[in-house]
Structure 1
């Protein structure tokens, strides 16, 4: 008999009891909304249960503490939203990924992230969850884009680790966090066309 796949095995809570995975998405969405609305300090397990429309026992079967709840949610951020594009060109791949990034920062994930920025220095587990969760997702996606572009001869191998490569997200993040100006697809296109692509084209393999 073949072993069941991961998707076929119900996730088990930290307390060891089986849980219904169909409720996870609803609960995580509620957590993000509450983080954006009230922040980490005011977040409670009872509030999550009420926002998600589930019983408190459903929450406690999944997470024993508020920190467990938020860490687990952060660690899973962007995994469903971010896919490595394969348009056949560096320009097309970067345009698609930057538009995805714009959608993320303007959505529930972005709002929740903003509310957690001041908390993370005092909560190392949250900071680590960001590093191993969403930051890793984005880094892996960009790494694949660079590898594909290098294979097509569009960039040289040094570009992926260059300061120039960091401009892709840096300008959007700066605008999002500091200026208060809108972060939209038009701005992402401007960054791509006037900054990122010219820098990349200057680093083409000879």
Structure 2
């Protein structure tokens, strides 16, 4: 996902009384600006003025709609750090899992991933942001996983209850550990090894 791919619908958590609603193109520009500023300057550098400048809108436009940067960030959280994952349909469970986890890797390496990394330090001490960040990039994982494994069950590749196993968490957990902690490679070979030696065996166990 690139900055140009930021969806146009931004849902404010709270709008100041009497404040005008913006058009969708401006909403998209603001969401993209939040990603840009977070990735470049971190949460400490995420200011209302910086977002306004990056979005190409007047400061009054931002301040009329949001009273703080935390409120602004929460309002665009869904599009900034939890973009919808495309659900692949390759015709096989292995192919679908590789495609889906590859998409997660690309997300970590893109603008949203950089924004999330900048945000994580601030989240620890802010209960409001903690709640909002439960919608981090893997927030849409459960739905995509359920679709992929559900189709596999219909094809007879796995049992009917496979979607609800711990296997759902293994793939994203390993990728996130490498991304956030170890710095080990995230590439096609890692994704294939993860699917073949961890995720599929767990899904196919009796």
- TM-score under structure 2 length normalisation: 0.83
In the alignment, is residue 189 of structure 1 matched against residue 182 of structure 2?
A: no
Which of 155, 160, 164 is the aligned partner of 1:157? Answer: 160
Which of 147, 165, 169 is the aligned partner of 1:166? Answer: 169
Q: C-alpha root-mean-square deviation of aligned residues, in Å?
A: 2.4
Distance 1:10 1:76, change over 3 A: closer
Structure of higher CA gyration radius: 1
Structure 1, 188-197 or 167-176: larger mean CA deviation: 188-197
Structure 1 residue 153 displacement after superposition: 1.6
Between the aligned partners of 2:161 and 2:11, the Cα distance in structure 1 is 41
Q: Spell out structure 1 runs of 4+ moving beyond 4 A.
A: 9-13, 78-81
Contact 1:49 1:59 in 2 (8 A): yes
Contact 2:159 2:204 in 1 (8 A): no
Q: Which residue number corresponds to residue 21 of structure 1? A: 24
- TM-score under structure 1 length normalisation: 0.83
Contact 1:121 1:127 in 2 (8 A): yes
Which of 87, 109, 112 is the aligned partner of 2:112? Answer: 109
Task: Count residues in correspondence.
Answer: 195
Distance 1:197 1:85, change over 3 A: same
Uncovered stretches (5+) of structure 1, i.e. residues with no partner: 1-8
